[in-house]
Amino acid sequence: ITNPTPDNGEHPQVGQLLFYVPDAIDPRFGDGDPGSWFNCSGTVIADKIVLTAGHCTFAVGSNGKSTDPQGDPKADTNGDGMADNGTGGNDIWFTTQETVDYGFLPPSSTFACEGCGGNAARYATWSRALNKNRSWLRGSAHPHDLYNDLAFYLHDAGVVVLAKSSGLKRAQFGRLPALGHLDAYFAQPRDSQRFTPVGYGLQGGFPGYEGGDTRYQASVMLIDQTGVAGLGSGISVLFSNDAGAAHGGGTCFGDSGGPVFDGDTTTIVAVTSFSMNQTCTGVGGGYRIDQEDDLEFIGGFLR
């Protein structure tokens, strides 16, 4: 979150995700030893259900094995009868710590040297440590049924099903919006309504890439409602991302998948989807979840 306001426990339903993508390249290990770890943010919307972005659930590994369709949307390499778009990958963990402690994980540099075990050793060590740490809950990753990583912004919703209870009370869960919830604000002046993005992302982009791993919030305005980047209406919206007096801050890398709440409520109108530049300034993109296909997809995990 840029120009952040400390959350101070206001949004206990928002947590951080840590996940492993076996096909991604970590430059510290090189092309010959693929596998990389990433962070996103997410919101508990039911006892074992976390809402996040589709690109935070795509190609998540399954016990260290690849689930990437390699460009073929119909690929079924593991023979489970489902397209290999990351659905069901279990190399993903979730925590609601306000400031996340990674001290129990050995640094990547421990494994990124000749004879140090490489990515296989890092995966084995980290996954074992995460499974034993009571602050982290393992889950399974499920991108939107229509998610395509080559055009992630079109269906950028995802769900993580936790193996154990989140420990939150029902009153603390994030709430889904009504169909077309955001439409009511389109005819209003831009500064008439505030929205609250929450996440664990960086506090600044290029060149410093400051902060991260602590839950913060911001206050933003709705900037562009329809046809964002030529995508057409009902897909994405743009929110302000600056340090103005009336609306402070915005989103940055690592906030992906985190909620954008309607004002001071726990109603989620969008999940953080993309940044328009490397500096995390100007505007930030949110993927609407108040559309019929998204509510149907998410609702399928709540029945």
Domain limits, the chain: 11-170, 174-290
Question: Which residues have CB under 8 Å from 11's CB, separation 6+?
Answer: 198, 215, 217, 259, 261, 266
Assess whether the region 11-170 and the region 174-290 belong to the same CATH fold. yes
- Tokens 């939150």 correspond to 168
> pLDDT of 110-161, one tens digit each?
999 999 999 999 999 999 999 999 999 999 999 999 988 888 999 999 999 9
Is the domain defined by 11-170 classed in CATH 3.30.499.10? no
Binning the chain into helix, strand and coil, the percentages to the nearest 5 are 15, 30, 55
Please report, rounded to a whole number, the percentage of residues in the chain having pLDDT higher than 70: 91
**Alpha-carbon distances, residue 272 vs 77, 126, 168, 277, 279 (angstroms):** 31, 27, 22, 14, 16
> pLDDT of 194-236, one tens digit each?
999 999 999 887 777 888 999 999 999 998 877 677 777 889 9
DSSP output for 51-78: EE-GGGTTT--BTTB----TT-TT--TT
- Span 41-61, average pLDDT: 98
How many angstroms separate the CA atoms of 105 and 111, rounded?
12
- Tokens 């229509």 correspond to 146
State yes or no: pLDDT of 82 exceeds 60. no
122, HSE (Cβ side, Cα atoms, 13 Å): 24
Burial (0-12, 13-18, 19+ Cβ within 10 Å), 105 = middle
H-assigned helices in 57-197? 118-132
How many angstroms separate the CA atoms of 20 and 36, rounded?
6
Q: How large is the C-alpha radius of gyration of the chain?
A: 18
- Comparing 248 with 59, the larger pLDDT belongs to 59
Query: What global pTM score does this model have?
Result: 0.93
283, HSE (Cβ side, Cα atoms, 13 Å): 14
State yes or no: pLDDT of 299 exceeds 90. yes
Is the domain defined by 174-290 classed in CATH 2.40.10.10? yes
